[in-house]
Structure 1
């Protein structure tokens, strides 16, 4: 489950029209959501609030050996007036990501339009005052976020995010860790700078980290029509093929890294059954939405393939196979997620004395039914089933995720809503030597076991995370 501050940052991206999915770092996002989810570590409570449309706070208290916690603050020049901030209203599918439906590439809006985001200035006075106000409202969208982890030695994480243009975004991330209590050494700090350029057709990211003076680049290219020139053709596409790569180099430590990847995914038009695409049959081109990825790291010889499919609006499966050509080691991981739909809210309030069956009584009396009271549109017989991943879909009440690898390491996660609380509970099981300090699931593919010929024991990591926001 995402933290409240991560949820607000996603709302910032939506409000400013930034497509973070069109990036090489999101190439395998679907498989990561279904297979690489983490389970909570023991008990952790999050108290969050969107105090004003521009300011948010979050406090965390956890018990992991010792009592620990964090304090977070966030400020944005873009107001979050239409963002659901209460835990009872936050759509669970947004804060608990699962199968991600890849959307067609969209060209950035060339009309900057920050006036509509930051307020209307037409009512301001005349003269120089208008010019000054125009300049202030056209300032670039900016987000500031800081988190202080306690107790000592404390760690400070800070983020500065700024939109430079419709296609450019700059982010500065700082991490500073205080030294031991009795040490007079300066805090260890690192800065990560990232400049992103996203045109819809392709995206580039340029990175620099003060840690080992690391330089990096990531790029993604979408095959097919350019959305900047042919909007209609892009919206009618059935599938999308994307290719990308990344490269890193550190002149200090002579560190070199690179990888490349491919992704093939069906688009919403392939399963919606549009008459212009399906001909006379009117059925969908593809029965199930699916995503295929292939990633290769040439220097280490690692090859990984993933296959994700949404078998129904509430059920998705995913598998990953990894292979190393140098060591002949392999990895096999499989997982799934199952959503439980909440009860639909009746169209009319029960205070009006309507139990939702008035349409049936009228039909038995032979009366004509108004269109808005047709039984096909009543809450008990919905005309359409909402699809997983839709922006306006908040009907999911809970979700269960499970993953298992070839070493029988198992993770089980339940996320749902209890009253006005968002709760995440998980457990990890796997073969290995028992260790009291082991509170999280080891990396996929680990094969540690008890030595000396003794049968392997099974460790358990159980945790619960509770989020309440107002």
Structure 2
């Protein structure tokens, strides 16, 4: 289950037309949601509220083996009406947006013209750049984390995140990311105070024309890489990756395939995720190390429970509106034509309004490197979202290793 912070972030990016899936760090997001989902441990209760169009707060309490701790979070967003159209309450939010699952890759789009964000009054610009502030205090450990996001333009964004913890070196760490998302490509420059780490990431989309309003291709091929260097520890790293994805907007079977390589560590990883039906998704990942010859195969799946909703009644106003050219027809012809048109309207209305409601999702994950099975059941009960998970050891004499329940409420 996504946290309230992750839901706020997705809503912020959706309102500002920022495609986070175009970043190299999210290259394997589709399979990662299916294979690396986390299980709740103990009992967790999260209560959140959008107190005003510009601010929100969240409170969480966790009980694990008799030890109780919690956290307090605050959010601020500018302009004030940026999140007003977002569905953030748990009794109204789409479950596919908050429950971790298969994420179809969003096709890149040409960036918005900056002049459309300008607001002038009396010859002066009064528009405010899109900004998001976040702070969270963990109790009773007194750990503080914060994040600041500011979009300088439709293609440029700066993200600053920090953690204050006495157990860390120098009492905390801070990381700055400067991102440029041009649609056809995306780049990120990273600096972290931890080991004075410098990093550069990039992703390039083949076959995408930035002059078009949207991609006309039925699939997307992306390639990218990252390189980083720690000034203090004199350590370097590099990785590269390739992703091929099809979108459900064009084909009946959306899928995502990725291959990533870390040549320094000799690590190769290949993933495949496919939405076989509207209710089921399967994913697999093969990890192989060229130096140690160790390998690992991970399999995961999700099964959604959906029920048909009641079709919306045909609008009486639509049925009673006058038919064109009735005056030019004979009375018998007008009646026959009217009955035919109304029958067609009712049929089209029933077909268009037939929808399904998401109720819950089952998830399972197994791996050859671990003798355990992870099971997760997530859904909605009244105005609460719930996440019930367990990790079971299949070896003789073993049993349930971890078990937990998480409840989330937001208004």
TM-score w.r.t. the length of structure 2 is 0.87
Q: CA deviation at 1:2?
A: 0.8
More strand by share: 2
1:259-283: CA deviation from partner (whole Å, max 9, x where unpaired)? 1010111134541xxxxxxxxxxxx
Corresponding residue of 2:324: none
- The answer to whether the 8 A contact 1:157-1:176 is kept is yes
138, 146, 160: which is aligned to 2:148? 160
Corresponding residue of 1:244: 224
Matched, 1:230 2:218: no
Matched, 1:203 2:186: yes
- The separation in 2 between residues aligned to 1:269 and 1:346, in whole angstroms, is 23
Matching of residues 122-137 of structure 1 within 5 Å: 130-131=122-123, 134-135=124-125, 137=126
Corresponding residue of 1:88: 91
Matching of residues 90-105 of structure 1 within 5 Å: 90-105=93-108
Q: Secondary structure of 2:8's match?
A: helix
Corresponding residue of 1:141: 130
Q: Secondary structure of 1:326's match?
A: coil
- The answer to whether the 8 A contact 2:308-2:354 is kept is no
- The separation in 1 between residues aligned to 2:208 and 2:385, in whole angstroms, is 42
Q: Secondary structure of 1:457's match?
A: coil
- The answer to whether the 8 A contact 2:243-2:257 is kept is yes
Corresponding residue of 2:322: none
- The separation in 2 between residues aligned to 1:270 and 1:12, in whole angstroms, is 26
- The answer to whether the 8 A contact 1:264-1:292 is kept is yes
- The answer to whether the 8 A contact 1:238-1:268 is kept is no
1:242-273: CA deviation from partner (whole Å, max 9, x where unpaired)? 000011101210111111010111134541xx
- The answer to whether the 8 A contact 2:40-2:404 is kept is yes
- The separation in 2 between residues aligned to 1:309 and 1:384, in whole angstroms, is 25
Matched, 1:255 2:238: no
Q: Which runs of 5+ in 2 are unaligned?
A: 315-337
Corresponding residue of 1:71: 72
Corresponding residue of 2:161: 173
- The answer to whether the 8 A contact 1:106-1:200 is kept is yes
Q: CA deviation at 1:58?
A: 0.2
- The separation in 2 between residues aligned to 1:456 and 1:329, in whole angstroms, is 28
Q: In the superposition, relative to structure 1, how do residues 371 and 420 fare at CA in structure 2: closer, same or farther (>3 Å)?
A: farther
Matching of residues 276-291 of structure 1 within 5 Å: 287-291=252-256
| 28-37 or 82-91, larger mean C-alpha shift | 82-91
Matching of residues 385-404 of structure 1 within 5 Å: 395-404=357-366
TM-score w.r.t. the length of structure 1 is 0.77
- The answer to whether the 8 A contact 2:253-2:276 is kept is yes
423, 442, 445: which is aligned to 2:386? 423
Q: Secondary structure of 1:61's match?
A: strand
Q: In the superposition, relative to structure 1, how do residues 371 and 251 fare at CA in structure 2: closer, same or farther (>3 Å)?
A: farther
Matched, 1:302 2:242: no
Paired residue total? 384
- The separation in 2 between residues aligned to 1:261 and 1:322, in whole angstroms, is 14
Matched, 1:322 2:284: no
Matching of residues 34-53 of structure 1 within 5 Å: 34-53=34-53
Q: In the superposition, relative to structure 1, how do residues 459 and 415 fare at CA in structure 2: closer, same or farther (>3 Å)?
A: closer
- The answer to whether the 8 A contact 1:196-1:204 is kept is yes
1:38-62: CA deviation from partner (whole Å, max 9, x where unpaired)? 0111100001000111000000011
Q: CA deviation at 1:373?
A: 5.5
- The answer to whether the 8 A contact 2:308-2:355 is kept is no
- The answer to whether the 8 A contact 1:334-1:403 is kept is yes
Which 4+ runs in 1 deviate beyond 6 A?
A: 383-386
- The separation in 2 between residues aligned to 1:187 and 1:297, in whole angstroms, is 30
- The separation in 1 between residues aligned to 2:2 and 2:383, in whole angstroms, is 17
- The separation in 2 between residues aligned to 1:206 and 1:316, in whole angstroms, is 34
461, 464, 467: which is aligned to 2:402? 461
Q: CA deviation at 1:194?
A: 0.3
Q: CA deviation at 1:84?
A: 1.4
- The answer to whether the 8 A contact 1:57-1:74 is kept is yes
- The answer to whether the 8 A contact 1:103-1:268 is kept is no
- The separation in 2 between residues aligned to 1:330 and 1:383, in whole angstroms, is 49
Corresponding residue of 1:359: none
Q: In the superposition, relative to structure 1, how do residues 108 and 62 fare at CA in structure 2: closer, same or farther (>3 Å)?
A: same
- The separation in 2 between residues aligned to 1:372 and 1:83, in whole angstroms, is 35
Q: CA deviation at 1:326?
A: 0.5
